[in-house]
Structure 1
Amino acid sequence: MKHDLHSPTPNRQSSRRRSRSSSHRRDRPLWAFAGMLLLSCGLLLGWAILPAPAQTEAPIPTEESGAPQPDLSRSEFALPDPPAAPPTVAPEAAGQYVLEFNRSPIVGNRLRMEGIYDERRLRFTRPRNWEPKSVQISLRFRHSAALYATRSNLTVLVNGTSIGSVPLNKPQGEIGNVVFDVPPGAIKDYNEVVLAALQNNSPTCTQDPFDPSLWTEILPDSKLVFNFQPKAIALDFHRYPYPVFDDLSLEPNQVAYLQPNEIDETWLTATSRLHTSLGRLAEFRPLDTRIVEAIDQVAGRERLIVIGTPAIQPDLSSLDLPLSLGSGRFLDAEQQPFPGDVGLLMLTTTPDGAAPVLVATGNGAEGVAKAVQFLVQPGDRQIGTGNLVIVDQIDQVETPDPRAWQGYLPLENSFKLSDLRTFDEQAYGDVTVRGSHSPSLELDFRALPDDQFSPGNTMTLRYSYGPQINPLTSLVEVELDNVVITGKRLTSVSGGDRETLKVTLPEDRIKPNSRIQVNFRLDPRERRSCSRVTDQQLWSTIHSDTEFKLNREQVVRLPDLELLRAGYPFAAPQDLSSTAIAMPENPAQSDLLLLLEVSERLGRLSRAESVKLDVYRASKLPVEQRDSRHIIAIGTEAQFPLPEAFEQGDGFALRDLFSRHWGQKQIQTLPDQEGLVKQIISPWNQERVMLALSAQTDEGLQQVRDLISQDNLFFQLEGDTVLIAANEPDPSPYDPNAYSLEFLQQSSQRQLASANLSSRIAAVLRGNWFVLAPGIVAASLVLYGVIQLYLKRLTGQE
C-alpha cells in the first residue's frame, strides 16, 4: 500500500480521530444544546406573544364556477332575424333646462374674483340624447365701485371661445345683468365656462395688485339656459351602460327595479351585483333608485331593469322582446328552449314606448346569474352589441389581492410620483405651472385603511424653476391636507435645474383621504403691475421622479365605523368576495331599498374587474359563508336575520316591544323611528366583522338608507354604533341640520392580525417596549441557569 509522504499514517489518523472525538464529546453537546435551547425559547416566546395568523380564505365558488362550459366552436342556437333598424325610444318634446351656478360646489353663495386679473372655471356636461337648439349664459354680478370702467371688464369664454365681454361700470351697490348667446355648435359632451375679470382702479397703472378694492362677484342665481331637442335613444349594448345610466346627465339618473313575485337568492344576488356595478359607474354622480311592482308604475325619466326568469317575472310576457316565450321559457328561432345555464340580455321599451327597459333573464337561475355577471365585468360587456346578447360563457375573473386598491398608495414602500395616478387614471408626468399665483399640484395620497405608519416617512421633491425670480420672496412649499409641512426658498436668480427638497411626512397625518399639495410662490425680480409679461415668464416644474419612502405595516383595530368611510373591511378585496349580505326571510320593500343603497355605496367605494358580492336570506345563509365572510345584516328588529348582533355583551341593542338595552339600562320608547348602524366582531370568526343595519320600524330603516346614501352623513361615521333620526318629516338632503347623529363606542377594539410575521413582531415590540429590557434580562438568567444545570449533570456523568 502506498501512502502520500505528506499524509499521516493510518495509525496516526486513528489516534487523531480518537483525540478529536473525546474533545467533541465535551464541547459539541453543550453548544448544540445551547443553540437549540435559544431557538426553542425564541419560538415559544413568539408563539406566546404574537396573535394567531389570519386564516387563508379558500376561494369562494360563484354561480358560474360549477357550470359546464359549452363548446364555442359550434353554433348551438337558432337566432331570430335581426330587425331592419335597431329599436329606439321615441324622443320627447322639445324643452328648456335651466342650470343655475349655485349647483356647483365652488360657487356657494357667490363666486368672487380678486386682483388685477382673475378667472374662475365652471364645468357642465351635455346629456347624450340632447341636441342643443340655443344656449344662453345669464350673468348677474356686482363689483367694487373703485374699478375704473374703461380699464375693467368681465369676459366669458366657453370651451376656449370668447362669447362676449361687459365693462365693469356699475355704481356702488347696483347689480349688473347681462346675457351672452353661445353658439350651439360650441357645446360638446364636456364643457368649460371661464369667467375672466380684468380689474384696475387707475386710468394709467394699478400699483398694488393685492389692493382689496379690486373685486367682482358673480351671484349664485346666474344661470345657463338650454333650449334643446331630445333625440331618439337607440337601444344597443355597445353603448352600455347608456341608456340605463348616462354619465353626462345633468339630473340624477333614475333607475327602477321590477320586483319579482318570488324573492330568492338568485334575484337578490344578481340585483345587488348589478346595482354595485352601477355605483361604480356613477362614482360621485347622484343615482335615484326605487322598486316598482308593475311595469306601468315606471314614470318620468326612469329606466326599468327586469331581472329573473319568466317564472318569477311574469310581466316579461307584456314586453316586446326579440325572443319568444313558450310554456314559461324563452325559445330560439326553431322554438327550442334555451338551456338553463345560458344568460339572456335584452334591451326594449315599456309598452307605451316611453322608457328603455333592460332585461337580464334566462330559463334557469344559473343563466340569470351569468347574464348579470356579463354586465358587471368590464372585460366581458365591452364586446356586447345589438339589443340581444346570449351569454354562453364569461371570463372567470380572479380575486385581486386584498390590499390592491385602485386609487390608493402603491403596495411598495418606495415609489415615485409616476407610480401614482391622476383622476382619469393616467400616470403622472412632469408638471409645469406658470405665474406668481400658479395653481398647486394636488395629488391623492390615500393610505390603505389598514396602513399604520412609523416615523421616517419622506418625500424627496425634485423640481426646476425659471430665471427672473426674486430669491428673497420666492419659495416652494409642501402641504399635507392643507397643513404646510415644510418649505424652501428659491435662491438661484438664473433658475434652478432638478433641485431637491426632502420632506418628512408626519406618520399620524397620512389617512385614507389624504392629499398632498405642492405650491410654488414665485415673485418677479422687477414688479410691474401694469404688465402680465413678467408674471407669465415665471415657471416651475415638478418632476415625475419625485420619490416617496414610507415606513408602514398592516395593523387594524376593529370595530371602527370610521374605516367604513373607505369601505374597509368589506371592500378588501375590491371585488367584495369576502362580504355577504343577510336579509330577512321575507324581505319587505324597505329592506330591499336598503340593500340597493348598501350595494351602491360599496360600488362607489371599490374598483375591480368583477363583483362577487353574495346575498342570502336568513335561513339560506350557509354556515361556511357566515363563518368565513364579513357580514352585513339588514332588517327591522322583528325580522332581523342575525339576532346574535344584539346578544353580545352589554352593548346597545334593540329588543321587542320597542325596548332598548345598553349595559344595565333598559327603556321602552314609542314611537321609535331612529335608525341603527352597529359594527361588532363576528361571533363566528374573530377575524371578521358584522355590520347591523336595523331599526324598530320601516321609517327607521329609511333613516339608515339616508345615512348610507348621503355623503355629508356617511363621511361622519365613527365609533362602533350610530343612531340617526330625522329632525323633520321630509328632510332635505342639502340641509346639514336635517338629521341628528349620535355616535357610541361600546366595546374595546380588537387588533386584527397583520399581513406578515415581521410586521407583527415590530408591532408587538413597539407596543411592549417597556417590558422588553426586563424580559431580555430574565430570559438570559433563565437560560444561564439551564446551561449551568446541564454542565453540572454532564460533569457528574464524566
Structure 2
Amino acid sequence: VITGLNNEAVHKAAQAMSFESRFPGMAGQFALVREVRPLPEIPPERQSTDLTFADLGYDDKVLKSFSQKTNYYFYIPFGWRLTDGAILDLHFSHSQLLDYSNSFLNVLLNDSPMATIALDDETSLRGELKVELSPSQARPGQSNRISIQAEMYPIDICSDMDMWLLVSDESMLHLNHQEQDAPSLDLDFYPYPFDQRPDLADVIFILPPEPEPGEWEDVLQLAATLGDAAGGSNLAPAVTLGSNWSDEALAGYHLIAMGRPSRNLMIQQVNPQLPQPFQLGSDAIEQRLNNVIFRMPSDLSLGIVQFVPSPWNEARILLVVTGTTDPSVREATSLLVNQPWALKGNLVLVRDGAINTLDTRELTGSGIIAAVATAVPGIAEVATVSPTPTPAPTAPTAVVLAEQPVPDGADSPAWLVLLVGTTGVAVTAIFVIAFWQARQRKRNLSGMG
C-alpha cells in the first residue's frame, strides 16, 4: 500500500519506492517518507575490457552426462570493434574416467564455432584454452553469448561412472577493441540507447492526454523491461501525458511515444518525419510517391514500431510504438517486450504474429511502397494531390513528473481515481510497480541460477 494524507504525500511515497533506499526507515512493515531528495547525476558506466565469468555474475558451473552445454552472456558496447587480441581465456577441469578418444569441449560465440579441444589427463586438473573471439561474429550494442559444449564418454560405457566437467568462474574475457564512430542507429541494437543510463533519467515516455487502461498496461510492460535492462538501483524516467514541451527540453531526452496516432499528440507532431506516416487525423497508414497517395484498407489491424533520430536532437532517438487499432498497439508492445531480437531496421510491421522488418533509409519512395505492400497486401492508389510544404514540429514547456508536486483536486477519469487519485501520482505508482516486478523477476532468476 502506497498512500499519504494528500496527493503530494502519495507522490513522495511512490518516489521513495522507485529506488533501492538504504536508510533505516525502509525496514519493517511500514515507512514514513517526509522528503525525497533529488537523485544525483549518474554518468553511464564504462564497460570494462577484462571481465571474469564471476564479474558477469556466474559461479563455477558443473556439466554432467554425455552431452551438455552452458551459456554465458556479456555485453559489447555500441561503437566497439573487437581486434585480433580479443580472447576468452577459459579455465576448466574434468573427470579422469573419460574415454579421451571421444571426449572434447567446444566453444561457440553467438552460435558460431570458435575452438575445439580434446580432453586428456593434462586438461583434467588445470585445463586452459585461449579462444580468439572473431570480430565478425561479435555484436556491438547487444548481448553476446559464449556457449561451452562438452561431449563426454566414459571409459566403460556399461558402468555407472560419474562424468563431469567444471567451468571455472575465473575464466576471463579480454575484450581488446578499437573505438570507432558509431554507425547509424537502428532497431538491431534495441534496447540501446534507452538503457545507457542505469537510472533511465534521459528517457521520457509520452502517452495520450487521457490514457486508457490498456495504454497504462502497455507502458508498464515496456518500462519494466527497460528498467530490467538498465539494471540501476535508482530509476527515474520522465513521463508526460500529451505534448506540452519546449524544444530545449525535448533535445535532452530519448523519446518513447506510445498509443494510436489519433490519440497521441507527439505522434501527430512528428508524423511527417516517420518512415511510415499516417493519414492526417486518423490511424490509417499512407505513403506518398510524388503527388500520388497510397493507403491500406480501413479495417487493417497493424502494429507498427518506428525508430528515428529525434527531430529536436539527432543524437537522441524517438521510438514510436503504435498501430492502427488498440490490439495492434498491444502486439507492437509485446514484440518489444518479448522478442527484441526480431527487431531490425527502422520500421517493423507486425500483424497476427507475422513480423516484417524494413530499413526505409535504403529504399526509394517506390521501394518503400512495394516493401510495405509485400508485408501487408492491400495497398492501393486513392488520390492525387498537389504537394504542400510541411511545417516543422513545434512544442512549448517540458513537464518532468518526478520534479513537480502533484496538486490536490486534479480531474481524473473515474477508474484512475480508484487507483491513486491523480494522473501524476498514477504514473509514478505504475512505474514503481513495473520496476519492482522487474527486480523481483531478476532476483528470482539469479536465485534459480
TM over 0.5: yes
Any idea what SS the aligned residue of 2:2 has? strand
Over residues 529-572 of structure 1, what are the superposed CA-to-partner deviations in whole Å (9 max), with x where a residue is unaligned?
A: 1x21xx21x544433432322223365434411222xx211111
1:685 to 279, 301, 313: 313
**Which residue of 1 is the match for residue 207 of structure 2?**
583
1:666 to 282, 293, 298: 293
Any idea what SS the aligned residue of 2:198 has? coil
**One-letter identity of the residue aligned with 2:270:** A
Change in Cα spacing, 1:468 to 1:600, as seen in structure 2 (3 Å) is closer
Instruction: Write out aligned runs for 1:288-367 (5 A).
Output: 358-365=1-8, 367=9
Q: Distance in 2 between matches of 1:461 and 1:593?
A: 44
Change in Cα spacing, 1:527 to 1:630, as seen in structure 2 (3 Å) is same
2:198 to 558, 561, 574: 574
* Conserved 8 A contact 2:310-2:317: yes
1:521 aligns with 2:151: yes
Q: Distance in 1 between matches of 2:228 and 2:53?
A: 25
CA drift of 1:474 comes to: 2.8
Change in Cα spacing, 1:497 to 1:648, as seen in structure 2 (3 Å) is same
Over residues 739-762 of structure 1, what are the superposed CA-to-partner deviations in whole Å (9 max), with x where a residue is unaligned?
A: 23332211269xxxxxxxxxxxxx
* Conserved 8 A contact 2:276-2:285: no
**Which residue of 1 is the match for residue 369 of structure 2?**
none
1:420 aligns with 2:420: no
Instruction: Write out aligned runs for 1:48-197 (5 A).
Output: none
**Which residue of 1 is the match for residue 241 of structure 2?**
617
Q: Distance in 2 between matches of 1:720 and 1:646?
A: 15
Aligned length: 355
**Which residue of 2 is the match for residue 717 of structure 1?**
343
**One-letter identity of the residue aligned with 1:620:** N
Over residues 135-179 of structure 1, what are the superposed CA-to-partner deviations in whole Å (9 max), with x where a residue is unaligned?
A: xxxxxxxxxxxxxxxxxxxxxxxxxxxxxxxxxxxxxxxxxxxxx
Q: Distance in 2 between matches of 1:382 and 1:677?
A: 44
**Which residue of 1 is the match for residue 271 of structure 2?**
646
**Which residue of 2 is the match for residue 315 of structure 1?**
none
Normalised by the size of structure 1, how large is the TM-score? Answer: 0.41
Q: Distance in 1 between matches of 2:102 and 2:233?
A: 50
* Conserved 8 A contact 1:652-1:662: no
1:596 aligns with 2:226: no
Change in Cα spacing, 1:386 to 1:421, as seen in structure 2 (3 Å) is closer
Q: Distance in 2 between matches of 1:420 and 1:698?
A: 39
**One-letter identity of the residue aligned with 2:209:** E
Q: Distance in 1 between matches of 2:214 and 2:69?
A: 46
Q: CA-atom RMSD, angstroms?
A: 3.1
2:176 to 548, 551, 556: 551
After alignment, is 680-689 or 495-504 more displaced?
A: 495-504
Identity over aligned residues, as a percent? 19
Tell which has more relative contact order, 1 or 2 (C-alpha 8 A, sep 6+): 2
1:542 aligns with 2:170: no
Change in Cα spacing, 1:376 to 1:544, as seen in structure 2 (3 Å) is same
Q: Distance in 2 between matches of 1:659 and 1:500?
A: 57
Q: Distance in 2 between matches of 1:539 and 1:597?
A: 41
CA drift of 1:608 comes to: 0.9
Gaps spanning 5+ residues in structure 1: where?
Answer: 1-357, 405-410, 423-427, 727-738, 750-798
Any idea what SS the aligned residue of 2:183 has? strand
Change in Cα spacing, 1:557 to 1:383, as seen in structure 2 (3 Å) is farther
CA drift of 1:476 comes to: 2.5
Any idea what SS the aligned residue of 2:315 has? coil
Any idea what SS the aligned residue of 2:15 has? helix
CA drift of 1:433 comes to: 4.4
2:358 to 744, 761, 786: 744
* Conserved 8 A contact 2:86-2:132: yes
Q: Distance in 1 between matches of 2:133 and 2:69?
A: 18
Any idea what SS the aligned residue of 1:376 has? coil
2:81 to 452, 455, 470: 452
Change in Cα spacing, 1:604 to 1:364, as seen in structure 2 (3 Å) is same
**One-letter identity of the residue aligned with 1:363:** N
CA drift of 1:450 comes to: 4.9
1:486 aligns with 2:115: yes
Q: Distance in 1 between matches of 2:145 and 2:222?
A: 27
Q: Distance in 1 between matches of 2:26 and 2:288?
A: 54
Q: Distance in 1 between matches of 2:117 and 2:354?
A: 45
* Conserved 8 A contact 1:457-1:551: yes
* Conserved 8 A contact 1:446-1:510: no
**One-letter identity of the residue aligned with 2:126:** R
Q: Distance in 1 between matches of 2:7 and 2:311?
A: 35
* Conserved 8 A contact 1:722-1:742: yes
**One-letter identity of the residue aligned with 2:342:** Q
**Which residue of 1 is the match for residue 126 of structure 2?**
498
Q: Distance in 1 between matches of 2:317 and 2:200?
A: 14
Q: Distance in 2 between matches of 1:484 and 1:595?
A: 39
Q: Distance in 1 between matches of 2:110 and 2:210?
A: 46
CA drift of 1:721 comes to: 1.0
**Which residue of 2 is the match for residue 562 of structure 1?**
188
**Which residue of 2 is the match for residue 734 of structure 1?**
none
**One-letter identity of the residue aligned with 1:614:** A
Change in Cα spacing, 1:363 to 1:640, as seen in structure 2 (3 Å) is same
CA drift of 1:692 comes to: 1.4
Any idea what SS the aligned residue of 1:605 has? helix
CA drift of 1:635 comes to: 3.4
CA drift of 1:703 comes to: 3.5
**One-letter identity of the residue aligned with 1:718:** K
Normalised by the size of structure 2, how large is the TM-score? Answer: 0.69
CA drift of 1:578 comes to: 1.0
* Conserved 8 A contact 1:466-1:495: no
**Which residue of 1 is the match for residue 137 of structure 2?**
509
CA drift of 1:381 comes to: 8.5
Any idea what SS the aligned residue of 2:75 has? coil
Change in Cα spacing, 1:542 to 1:688, as seen in structure 2 (3 Å) is same
Q: Distance in 1 between matches of 2:201 and 2:288?
A: 33
Q: Distance in 2 between matches of 1:522 and 1:618?
A: 61
* Conserved 8 A contact 1:481-1:514: yes
Q: Distance in 2 between matches of 1:421 and 1:626?
A: 36
**Which residue of 2 is the match for residue 760 of structure 1?**
none
Change in Cα spacing, 1:373 to 1:483, as seen in structure 2 (3 Å) is same
Over residues 345-403 of structure 1, what are the superposed CA-to-partner deviations in whole Å (9 max), with x where a residue is unaligned?
A: xxxxxxxxxxxxx33345243x3332112112122588535665321134654444424
* Conserved 8 A contact 2:25-2:31: no
Q: Distance in 2 between matches of 1:446 and 1:585?
A: 37
1:443 aligns with 2:72: yes
CA drift of 1:434 comes to: 5.0
Q: Distance in 2 between matches of 1:440 and 1:672?
A: 44
Any idea what SS the aligned residue of 1:557 has? coil
Change in Cα spacing, 1:439 to 1:397, as seen in structure 2 (3 Å) is farther
Any idea what SS the aligned residue of 2:76 has? coil
Any idea what SS the aligned residue of 2:219 has? helix
Q: Distance in 1 between matches of 2:5 and 2:248?
A: 28
Any idea what SS the aligned residue of 1:723 has? strand
Q: Distance in 1 between matches of 2:106 and 2:334?
A: 40
* Conserved 8 A contact 1:581-1:615: yes
Change in Cα spacing, 1:468 to 1:697, as seen in structure 2 (3 Å) is closer
**One-letter identity of the residue aligned with 1:548:** L
CA drift of 1:714 comes to: 4.2
CA drift of 1:414 comes to: 2.4
* Conserved 8 A contact 2:288-2:294: no
* Conserved 8 A contact 1:644-1:683: no
Over residues 167-222 of structure 1, what are the superposed CA-to-partner deviations in whole Å (9 max), with x where a residue is unaligned?
A: xxxxxxxxxxxxxxxxxxxxxxxxxxxxxxxxxxxxxxxxxxxxxxxxxxxxxxxx
Any idea what SS the aligned residue of 1:580 has? strand
